[in-house]
Structure 1
Amino acid sequence: MRKSAGETLFDWANYLFLSAVALAMLYPFWHVLVRSVLPYEEAIRSAIHVFPTKVTFDAYKYVFTNGGLMRGVWISLFVTFAGTAYQLLITAMTSYALTIKALPGRNLIISMIVFTMFFGGGLIPYYLLIRSLHLVDNLLVMIVPAAISTFNMIVMKTFMDTLPKELEESAMMDGAGYFKIFVRLIMPLSVPVMATIGLFIAVGQWNNWMTAMLFLNKRELWPLALILRDILIDNNTELTRQTGYTSDSYLLGESIKMAVVIVSVIPIVAVYPFIQKYFVKGVMIGSLKG
């Protein structure tokens, strides 16, 4: 069918609008990338650079050779991988258990979990709890307390409720127990929602600087997110003093800041394309049905 003039005009208007939105979202990232590779003499000419006329990788060389920054990267990678696997397992097991209608006190347990979305004990009781568990200045504080998110659990439980119960009943007739059904049947069928929730958890773990700031007093335990906050928000001058540059210290420090931002973004950007095919399906089924 041929489109009318009005439909064609509407399509082009959509293309232009979405292109403008995409440009507005991509330009800040591009600006940071350009600033991270500009040499000193180019950076001082203007605050806005669409394309770099000259390129230097001194800032990235510093980032990848600085022991403190690379230690933060490895700590963030460990916390992200371990925390994502740990939270996914706990969330999946809890979600499946709450789909079993024969579970004693099922409705009460669900109500108690949902209650935590609206009311919390506060920061001081939470700090006292963490201290009593001897998790202060311990990397496990970034992983163990955040065992489950109520929102993630509700999304995953809603998805599992949509799975055919006949499959579970057939497995039980063949002698399978709940654990075997969960491992062999439920988890393979829940790959879309688990990939979606896994992305939510991984992004949260990778960007989690608040927990580290509250409970990790030793700088050698800081993840990259907290180091980045220290550089950008607190404007830590120790970073520029460590470079060994004097005349260009400010601009080199700015380039290092931008380079650290790029390095901190790359892992999440690199992971997303591999789970994009599951993302929309997992969100739509897990949040709209039920």
Structure 2
Amino acid sequence: MVRSTSIAGKIFDVLNMIFLVFMACIMLYPFWHVLVGSVLPYEEAIKTSFNLFPRSFSFEAYEYVFSKDTILKSVIVSVIVTVAGTLYQLFVTAITAYPLTKQDLPGRSAIFLFIIFTMFFGGGLIPYYLLIKSLGMVNSLAVMIIPAALSTYNMIVLKTFFQNIPIDLEESAKIDGAGYMRVFFKIIIPLSVPALATIALFIAVGQWNNWYVPMLFLNDKELWPLAMVLRDVLINNNMELTRGGSFVSKEFMLGDTIKNAIVMVSVIPIIIVYPFIQKHFVKGVMIGSIKS
């Protein structure tokens, strides 16, 4: 950050810093509110809905959440879907974007326009449901992975990154006898880690938070991911998923605390993963912003 030496510049820096700190507090408060609400004892939680700094802590809600098979199964389902879906979509996106960078690809423009067409026009929800049903993917985890094979936006981002890789590297490899597949896996992929990490993060967050597809196609609650369980608990106020079908005073007392704990359980994995790919993410989001 470049700091100004003039008085006006220093005043601007101070005001800018105050503004950024204020905005950061606004952004972080909802997260902090849920975090505090998940560790508040019942006696303190019922006194007021605003607890910025709790005087005591209780992890009873987390103990209760992790003691329920429904939550644990949904976490496992979310992990499986997120990992498998991210790897699958990343692979399909990469092998689609790379050929489209080649000028000698037959029908390259037509293929690209056909893919772009899907960004603006779709068949609609009913035809989509009938298609999924005809493929036998209703009540199957495959419905959360296979249909979402390719994001046109991610493909365009990755295609742009591939085009910025010096063509001389590929030509040198081809002179040494390497084919397109070897060039792709040995040269293009290693050089594209920032872009791939960025797209992988976008895909993983989308898969982890995906509740719409399960709502449409997963009738069996045993297959619900954590996002769908969270939606049912928060929006429909369905505490049966955490009670195991019976009303107990303890669940009633910890109702809001349990909801906050489930929210934190759904958020923490992404927060844990992000620092490991942050250095690649910062580079990846700059794709196309600077031209050499």
Query: TM-score by structure 1 length?
Result: 0.96
Q: Give the letter aligned to residue 124 of structure 2.
A: G
Alignment-derived partner of residue 32 in structure 2? 30
Q: 1:171 to 1:2 in 2, by over 3 A?
A: closer
Which structure 2 residues correspond to residues 125-136 of structure 1 after superposition, within 5 A? 125-136=127-138
Q: 1:40 to 1:282 in 2, by over 3 A?
A: same
Percent of matched pairs sharing the same residue: 60
For structure 1, the 5+ residue unaligned runs are none
Query: TM-score by structure 2 length?
Result: 0.95
Q: Give the letter aligned to residue 256 of structure 2.
A: E
Alignment-derived partner of residue 202 in structure 2? 200
Alignment-derived partner of residue 49 in structure 1? 51
> How far apart are residue 151 of structure 1 and its match?
0.2
Alignment-derived partner of residue 59 in structure 1? 61
The two structures, once aligned, show a CA RMSD in angstroms of 1.8
Q: Give the letter aligned to residue 277 of structure 1.
A: K
Q: Which structure 1 residue ranges, 4+ long, deviate > 6 Å from structure 2?
A: none
For structure 2, the 5+ residue unaligned runs are none
Distance 2:243 2:282 in 1: 46
Distance 1:188 1:44 in 2: 54
Distance 1:136 1:244 in 2: 29
> How far apart are residue 4 of structure 1 and its match?
1.5
Q: Give the letter aligned to residue 219 of structure 2.
A: N
Residues 43 and 251, structure 1, Cα contact 8 Å, conserved in 2: no
Residues 159 and 286, structure 1, Cα contact 8 Å, conserved in 2: yes
- SS of the aligned residue for 1:79 comes to helix
Q: 1:289 to 1:219 in 2, by over 3 A?
A: farther
Alignment-derived partner of residue 12 in structure 2? 10
Alignment-derived partner of residue 262 in structure 1? 264
Residues 77 and 206, structure 1, Cα contact 8 Å, conserved in 2: yes
Alignment-derived partner of residue 166 in structure 2? 164
Q: Give the letter aligned to residue 6 of structure 2.
A: S
Q: 1:5 to 1:289 in 2, by over 3 A?
A: closer
> How far apart are residue 242 of structure 1 and its match?
4.3
> How far apart are residue 51 of structure 1 and its match?
1.1
Select 1:225's aligned residue among 221, 224, 227.
227
**How many residues end up aligned between the 2 structures?**
290
Query: What do the CA deviations read for 1:134-173 (whole angstroms, capped 9, x no partner)?
Result: 0000101100010000000000000100110111111111
Alignment-derived partner of residue 176 in structure 1? 178
